[in-house]
């Protein structure tokens, strides 16, 4: 099994550009979520989904959109990139509470 696959691994954007971070899992997990990790701030939840067609906001949702049309995929869209969105982004999936999460290896995004 591939687990949770995130693409791309690295990305540089100019301010104002839009892009989509991809996340796919092959474990048939219902729960999927996106996080950003910044030095001194730890991991923060951006958006999460408890099943196809269902999404909800986390702690820091502004500037990001998500959709969950299939169980396998949970893309994160940056609408208009800003330098404050420079971060490492992680996607994770879980069969559901209280099972733990499988994290992807991350996408390192720099906005200049």
**Is the distance from CB of 48 to CB of 32 less than 8 angstroms?**
yes
Would you say 49 or 85 has its CB closer to another protein? Answer: 49
C-alpha of 56 from chain center: 13
Q: Which of 41, 12, 27 is nearest to 108 (CA)?
A: 12
Q: Identify the residue among 19, 50, 52, 82 touching another protein (CB under 8 A).
A: 50
Q: Identify the residue among 23, 66, 92, 109 touching another protein (CB under 8 A).
A: 92
Judged by CB under 8 A, does residue 17 bind another protein?
A: no
Judged by CB under 8 A, does residue 56 bind another protein?
A: yes
Would you say 28 or 97 has its CB closer to another protein? Answer: 97
Judged by CB under 8 A, does residue 99 bind another protein?
A: yes
Min separation Cβ 20 and another protein, Å: 19
Q: Which of 12, 39, 22 is nearest to 74 (CA)?
A: 22
Min separation Cβ 6 and another protein, Å: 8
**Is the distance from CB of 104 to CB of 5 less than 8 angstroms?**
yes
**Is the distance from CB of 10 to CB of 107 less than 8 angstroms?**
yes
**Is the distance from CB of 76 to CB of 20 less than 8 angstroms?**
yes
Q: Which residues bind another protein (CB under 8 A)?
A: 4, 31, 33, 35, 42-45, 48-50, 56, 58-59, 90, 92, 94, 96-106
């Amino acid at each position: 099994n591939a687990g949770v696959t995130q693409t791309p691994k690295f990305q540089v954007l100019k301010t104002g550009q839009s892009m989509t971070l991809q996340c796919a899992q092959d474990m048939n997990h219902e729960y999927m979520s996106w996080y950003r990790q910044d030095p001194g701030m730890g991991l923060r939840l951006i958006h999460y989904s408890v099943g196809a067609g269902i999404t909800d906001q986390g702690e820091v949702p502004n500037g990001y959109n998500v959709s969950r049309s299939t169980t396998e995929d949970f893309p994160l869209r940056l609408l208009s990139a800003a330098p404050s969105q420079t971060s490492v982004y992680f996607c994770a999936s879980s069969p559901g509470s209280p099972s733990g999460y499988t994290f992807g290896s991350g996408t390192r995004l720099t906005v200049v």
